[in-house]
Amino acid sequence: MVTVTHSGQRRTPKAAKTSSVFKKVVMAVSGIILVLYLIAHMVGNLKLFAGAQTFNGYSEWIRRIGEPAVPGQTVLWIIRVVLLAAVVAHAWAAISLWRQAKRARPQQYVARKQVAQSYASRTMRWGGVILGLFIVYHILDLTLGVANPAGHDSTPYDRAIAGFSNPLVTLVYVVALLALGFHLRHGVWSATQTLGQSNKTRERTVNAFATVFAVVLTAGFLIPPLSVLVGIIE
Amino acid sequence: MNLKLRVWRQRSAAEKGKMVTYQVTDVSPDMSFLEMLDVLNEQLILDGEDPVSFDHDCREGICGSCGVMINGRAHGNGLFDDHPQTTTCQLHMRSFKDGDTIDIEPWRATAFPVIKDLAVDRSALDRIIQSGGYISAPTGTAPEAHSILVAKKDSDAAFDAATCIGCGACVAACPNASSMLFTASKVTHLGLMPQGQPERNDRVVNMIHQQDLEGFGGCTNIGECSASCPKGISMENISRLNHDLLGALRAGARPKS
């Protein structure tokens, strides 16, 4: 390699205050927390097929977990706070690394050809932005009900039916869930690497698992809204 | 064969550069890519123009001096299915067709400032090595080879990592301009050896710290580095670095600065 020593000491870039790998670890761990929640969320959604009473009852149960040992909604709020912290940590690490990457190559190539990157890995950052915006809409729609046709004093089942009967609403969900699928495809693999759990022999398995996991989770999330849209759930 | 070259010309780090088009004629398919650039430079010198600066040394694919972006790929790796991953000097003109247009650019990264044209300053990689890429074993007479045993699988993995020639293609190819594959290969190469154990924790912490200080980007495990590496260094080294770093941080190792 060429050794030129005239450049001397560089100024310390802001990024160096916290190690880039540490940020990646924050990203991986917060991602795992969110993924564990998503698995439970996806399974819970499938209860829409069991009818209004079961689904609303399930929704009520989530609010009562831990009673009477703890007051109502305690566990729910703990889950919400943990999720919010995970989302904030995930976004902080992502934005910070995004900025570091921008600073690392201010002058772009005139000609550029990528051969190894997947669609999933290329869209991690903007896909993440889409998911962030979607989560805000999703909470306004189905948790608070203020963005839902059935209104905020309706039952969870009514809100799901009212929302997903509208093709436009379902389209938003489909787009966001596909973005989630791609995000998970690269995220699962990347988190495994970041936490130092991959190697040459495991690499194929990890990547295959990431694909299967992303497909299963996305499909599991897509089935209820699409079933409402085509009238399987009414 | 006759070729149209679009070459990045930049007089110094301080000045702005641009792509300049040149025609080269009568290029032999047996020439290496660098010999083709030599032909261009002879022509430029005869025309009274400034020849194109580019780094090169051994021209045998082992020193890591040469390296340019060829049609958007580091060393041209990934452009040709029948061509093994190697360095720019080992790419031959038979891989191209008569009448081709070839874009030639320097490695682009904040940590690799352009010295002139296609030559960039890669001493950032040297400083990463200085921050931890060493062992403290006594040197002098060679020790008895059987006195320290190394598992075959470890010595193989360490040797694969040690084939890194520090050319910087990983940085050039990375969408984040990260030197993670380089640093990971150095950490693996020493960290798998018994001789590398005393500094193992400090090594990984300090090398990552230096890498961030130099202004490289962070790794997002995309894999362009490995696909561009003339030595085909595997992504598993990055996982091993991460594993070592987490262990070192748990053990209380902190970067010295």
The rounded distance, in Å, linking the Cα atoms of B242 and B199 is: 16
Burial of B126 (0-12, 13-18, 19+ CB in 10 A): middle
Structure tokens at A135: 């989560």
Residue B220's pLDDT is 96
Q: Which amino acid is at B149?
A: L
Q: Which residue has the higher pLDDT, A13 or B198?
A: B198
Residue A18's pLDDT is 74
Distance from chain centroid for Cα B232? 11
Q: Which residues of A touch B80 (CB under 8 A)?
A: none
Which portions of chain B are predicted below pLDDT 50? Answer: none
Candidates B242, B243, B249, partner chain A, best to mutate (most A CBs within 10 A)? B242
**Domains assigned to chain A:** 18-103+118-230 (1.20.1300.10)
**Radius of gyration from C-alpha coordinates of chain B:** 20
Place of tokens 């709020």: A77
The rounded distance, in Å, linking the Cα atoms of A104 and B214 is: 9
pTM (predicted TM-score): 0.92
User: Which residue on chain B is closest to A19 by alpha carbon?
Assistant: B209
The rounded distance, in Å, linking the Cα atoms of B233 and B77 is: 13
Read off the pLDDT band of A7 (50, 70, 90).
Answer: very low
Cβ–Cβ below 8 Å for B208 and A19 = yes
CATH code: domain B122-136+149-250 is: 1.10.1060.10
Topology of the domain covering B3-105: Ubiquitin-like (UB roll) (3.10.20)
Portions of chain B given CATH number 1.10.1060.10 = 122-136+149-250
The rounded distance, in Å, linking the Cα atoms of A32 and B236 is: 21
A positions 13-42 inside 8 Å of B (CB): 13, 15-16, 19-25
- A81 part of contact set with chain B, CB < 8 Å: no
Portions of chain B given CATH number 3.10.20.30 = 3-105
Q: Residue A4 pLDDT > 70, yes or no?
A: no
Beta carbons within 10 angstroms of residue B66's beta carbon? 27
Residue A9's pLDDT is 45
Beta carbons within 10 angstroms of residue B198's beta carbon? 12
At A58-101, the pLDDT tens digits run 999 999 998 899 998 999 999 999 999 999 999 999 999 999 99
What ranges make up the beta strands (E) of chain A? none
Residue B81's pLDDT is 86
Instruction: Give Cα separations from B238 to A76, A118, B244 (angstroms).
Output: 38, 18, 10
Candidates A105, A185, A206, partner chain B, best to mutate (most B CBs within 10 A)? A105
Q: Reply yes or no: is the peptide bond before residue A68 cis, omega within 30 of 0.
A: yes
At A160-211, the pLDDT tens digits run 999 999 999 999 999 999 999 999 999 999 999 999 999 999 999 999 999 9
Place of tokens 């000491």: A9
Q: Which residues of B155-185 are buried (b: 16+ CB within 10 A; e: fewer)?
A: eebbebbbebbbbbbbbbbbbbbbbbbbbbb
Residue A179's pLDDT is 98
- Phi, psi for residue B20 in degrees, rounded to 5: -120, 135
Cβ–Cβ below 8 Å for A116 and B111 = no
**CB–CB of A140/A163 below 8 Å?**
no
Q: Residue A6 pLDDT > 60, yes or no?
A: no
* Residue A146 DSSP SS3: coil
What is the 8-class DSSP label of residue A116?
S
A positions 125-184 inside 8 Å of B (CB): none
Residue B148's pLDDT is 87
Q: How far is B144 from chain A (nearest CA, A)?
A: 32
The interface pTM score, or ipTM, of the predicted complex is 0.91
Residue A17's pLDDT is 60
The rounded distance, in Å, linking the Cα atoms of B135 and A151 is: 68
| DSSP calls for chain B | --EEEEEEE-SSTTS--EEEEEEE-S--TTSBHHHHHHHHHHHHHHTTPPPPP---S-SSS-S-----EETTEETTTTS-TTS-S--GGG-BGGGS-TT-EEEEE---BTTB-EEETTEE--HHHHHHHHTT-------SSPPPTTSS---HHHHHHHHHHHT-----HHHHH-TT---HHHHHHHHHHHHTSGGGSTTHHHHHHHHHHHHHHTT--------HHHHH-TT---THHHHHHHHHHHHHHHTT-----
Nearest to A103 among B65, B110, B220 (CB): B110
At B213-243, the pLDDT tens digits run 999 999 999 999 999 999 999 999 999 999 9
Q: Which of A157, A183, A152, A138 is nearest to A59 (CA)?
A: A157
Burial of A10 (0-12, 13-18, 19+ CB in 10 A): middle
Q: Which residues of B touch A103 (CB under 8 A)?
A: 110, 215, 217
Read off the pLDDT band of A48 (50, 70, 90).
Answer: very high
- B86 part of contact set with chain A, CB < 8 Å: no
Contacts of A188 (CB under 8 A, 6+ apart): A35, A206, A209, A210, A213, A214
Structure tokens at B130: 């200085």
Residue B141's pLDDT is 83
Dihedral-angle region of residue A196 (phi above 0 means left; psi in -120 to 50 means alpha; beta otherwise)? left
Q: How far is B176 from chain A (nearest CA, A)?
A: 5
Q: Residue A118 pLDDT > 50, yes or no?
A: yes
Q: Residue A2 pLDDT > 60, yes or no?
A: no
Q: Residue A13 pLDDT > 80, yes or no?
A: no
